[in-house]
């Protein structure tokens, strides 16, 4: 049976490297050995120890612990990216699960033998991205062979330095797509109905418009009125927070509320039906913005949004590598 390659994160590199172990925390759980060897049993125990944990957190964390105790086998490989010295540490598992005792830091452990410590620069961006997982313990799949190649006799720590990294483009796209998915999910989860209207008004403010949100419960069909300056044209905005695609008749109701000289803006987290798109194309005084286009605007004007919305969608501006022949940023 082929050996698995596991990835692990730990903030205390000394425990791992000096103690010749891989280690996880979750001290409140105590010894995991008595828990029945099923994922459901681990979820139940985790919920007891962390009663405020969300359902998703329970499933993810309990799953990591179950794999650590019951799926890791002697002879498996482990990859530990250390942030302190920016090294990739590669080892093999030499013992079954053991509990270090109450009061110990990172008490969930396996004995390992560290085989090699390799600079991060020796690996492709895709490989580094995979072991940069948000999980504490995970299976390395896509780039396992690349990490294991570092154990070969002829491996040079600088062997990849002069080669173009074909994984950079895919890695950058993964990061961008994950960020965009995160923004849409947070909007959908936190902003329903009137709350989304207030957010769109704030986004328009950030774009330089003056906005007025219509009173709740009105029957005009207009959620926001916006002006670019003191003079017309007036922009009438309708906002929909539902998951369903917007139909042509819904957009026509916005047009029915518009007066001569007005412009219309329709905003949805979802998308538009084929007929609705045709209607928008044939009605240039109304613009339709879907979820993807809304994310583009949020990223462009993020720093000008109200603080409460930036806390709701916490983002950090970073630079990511892209292929050398790509001039525009993703």
Same domain, 134 and 10: yes
Q: Taking 60 as the threshold, does the pLDDT of residue 163 lie above it?
A: no
Please tell me which residue, 40 or 119, carries the higher pLDDT value.
Answer: 40
pLDDT at 232: 73
pLDDT at 161: 45
Contact (Cβ atoms closer than 8 angstroms) between residue 46 and residue 61 = yes
Q: Taking 90 as the threshold, does the pLDDT of residue 156 lie above it?
A: no
Same domain, 246 and 295: yes
Q: Taking 90 as the threshold, does the pLDDT of residue 241 lie above it?
A: no
Same domain, 301 and 212: yes
| Residue 178 lies inside a defined structural domain of this protein | no
Average pLDDT over the chain, rounded to an integer? 90
Q: Taking 90 as the threshold, does the pLDDT of residue 193 lie above it?
A: no
| Residue 119 lies inside a defined structural domain of this protein | yes
Same domain, 42 and 138: yes
- DSSP β-bridge partners for residue 234: 227
Same domain, 159 and 190: no
What is the rounded average pLDDT of the residues 80-90? 91
Q: Taking 90 as the threshold, does the pLDDT of residue 314 lie above it?
A: yes
pLDDT at 169: 64
pLDDT at 80: 97
Same domain, 13 and 144: yes
| Residue 196 lies inside a defined structural domain of this protein | yes
What is the rounded average pLDDT of the residues 295-311? 96
Q: How many domains does the chain have?
A: 2
CA 111 – CA 87 distance, rounded (Å): 20
Report pLDDT digits (tens) over 183-192.
999 999 899 8
pLDDT at 317: 86
Contact (Cβ atoms closer than 8 angstroms) between residue 135 and residue 64 = yes
pTM: 0.63
HEC-encoded secondary structure of 55-117 = HHHHHHHHHHHHHHHHCCCCCCEEEEEECCCCEEEEEEECCCCEECCCCCCCCEEEEEEEEEE
CA 45 – CA 329 distance, rounded (Å): 46
Report pLDDT digits (tens) over 211-233.
999 987 665 679 999 998 766 78
| Residue 240 lies inside a defined structural domain of this protein | yes
| Residue 176 lies inside a defined structural domain of this protein | no
| Residue 308 lies inside a defined structural domain of this protein | yes
At residue 309, the 3 state secondary structure works out as helix
**Measuring CA to CA, which residue among 216, 197, 192, 194 is closest to residue 266?**
197
Query: CB atoms < 10 A from the CB of 274, how many?
Result: 9
Please tell me which residue, 9 or 317, carries the higher pLDDT value.
Answer: 9
Where residue 56 sits, what CATH number does that domain have? 3.10.590
Contact (Cβ atoms closer than 8 angstroms) between residue 312 and residue 214 = no
What percent of the chain has a predicted confidence (pLDDT) above 70?
A: 91
Q: Taking 70 as the threshold, does the pLDDT of residue 170 lie above it?
A: no
CA 155 – CA 148 distance, rounded (Å): 10
The first and second tokens of residue 126, run together, are 């895709």
Please tell me which residue, 1 or 297, carries the higher pLDDT value.
Answer: 297
Where residue 207 sits, what CATH number does that domain have? 3.40.1350.10
Q: Taking 70 as the threshold, does the pLDDT of residue 166 lie above it?
A: no
Same domain, 231 and 158: no
Which residue has tokens 């796209």? 173
Q: Taking 70 as the threshold, does the pLDDT of residue 206 lie above it?
A: yes
Q: State which residues form the domain around 242.
A: 185-312
Same domain, 159 and 195: no
Q: Taking 80 as the threshold, does the pLDDT of residue 119 lie above it?
A: yes
| Residue 320 lies inside a defined structural domain of this protein | no
What is the rounded average pLDDT of the residues 21-50? 97
Same domain, 134 and 192: no
CA 242 – CA 247 distance, rounded (Å): 12
Report pLDDT digits (tens) over 255-278.
999 999 999 999 999 999 999 999
Same domain, 264 and 137: no
| Residue 250 lies inside a defined structural domain of this protein | yes
Same domain, 142 and 253: no
Same domain, 17 and 157: yes
């Amino acid at each position: 049976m082929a050996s698995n390659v596991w990835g692990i994160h730990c903030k205390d590199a000394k425990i791992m490297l000096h103690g010749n172990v891989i280690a996880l925390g979750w001290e409140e759980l105590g010894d995991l050995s008595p828990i029945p060897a099923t994922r459901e049993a681990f979820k139940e125990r985790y919920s007891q120890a962390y009663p405020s944990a969300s359902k998703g957190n329970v499933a993810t964390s309990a799953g990591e612990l179950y794999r650590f105790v019951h799926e890791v086998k002697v002879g498996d490989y482990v990859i530990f990216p250390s942030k302190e010295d920016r090294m990739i540490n590669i080892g093999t598992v030499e013992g079954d699960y053991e509990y270090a005792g109450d009061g110990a830091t990172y008490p969930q452990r396996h004995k390992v033998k560290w085989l090699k410590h390799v600079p991060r620069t020796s690996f492709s961006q895709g490989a580094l991205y995979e072991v940069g997982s948000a999980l504490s313990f995970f299976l390395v799949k896509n780039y396992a062979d690349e990490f294991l190649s570092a154990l070969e006799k002829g491996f040079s720590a600088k062997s990849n330095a002069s080669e173009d990294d074909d994984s950079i483009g895919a890695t950058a796209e993964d990061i961008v797509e994950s960020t965009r998915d995160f923004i849409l999910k947070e909007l959908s989860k936190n902003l329903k109905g009137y709350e989304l209207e207030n957010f769109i008004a704030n986004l328009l403010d950030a774009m330089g418009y003056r906005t007025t949100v219509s009173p709740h419960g009105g029957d005009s069909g207009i959620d926001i009125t916006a002006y670019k300056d003191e003079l017309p044209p007036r922009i009438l905005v309708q906002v929909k927070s539902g998951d369903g695609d917007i139909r042509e008749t819904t957009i026509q109701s916005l047009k029915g509320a518009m007066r001569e000289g007005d412009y219309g803006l329709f905003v949805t987290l979802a998308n538009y039906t084929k007929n609705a798109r045709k209607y928008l194309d044939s009605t240039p005084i109304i613009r339709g913005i879907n979820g993807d286009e809304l994310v583009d605007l949020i990223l462009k004007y993020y720093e000008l949004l109200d603080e409460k919305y930036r806390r709701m969608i916490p983002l950090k501006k970073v630079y990511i590598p892209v292929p050398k022949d790509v001039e525009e940023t993703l």
